[in-house]
Amino acid sequence: LEALKLGMMVLTETVALNKETMVLQRGMEDVYASGVLARIFRKILSIGNRLNAGEARLGRADGFDVVALLKDTDFLSAYKGNNQADLRKFLAEKSLDDDGRHELVALA
């Protein structure tokens, strides 16, 4: 009787886990297919590359250690500009059109 109960419990948990996995898969597919996220990530990468740009003749970057900055601080959300906008908020508000903002909201 206990084995039957355990089997039913495992089956129930497996079905629930399968449903959650499908939701996660759909979400990942949406993120992967999102053009707006790709544009935002390209801009963030470009900003980071420019901040860390160095002297070409020296063959090195003289800006700062990006890994240490992001690891040791909450740089992306802690440092605010005008109207308390962080980099993510600024990019979403200033560099996206209405369709891009709607796509970003739909992903959330």
pLDDT digits over 77-98, tens only?
Answer: 666 677 777 777 777 778 888 8
Residue 54, C-beta contacts closer than 8 angstroms, at least 6 positions apart: 60, 61, 62, 63
- DSSP-derived secondary structure letter, 59: T
Mean pLDDT of 36-43: 86
C-alpha 22/C-alpha 24 separation (Å) is: 5
For residue 87, which of 45, 79, 74, 98 has the smallest C-alpha distance? 79
Q: How confident is the model at residue 13 (pLDDT cuts 50, 70, 90)?
A: very high
Residue 27 buriedness (CB in 10 A; 0-12 / 13-18 / 19+): exposed
The yes-or-no verdict on residue 39 having pLDDT over 80 is yes
The yes-or-no verdict on residue 19 having pLDDT over 80 is yes
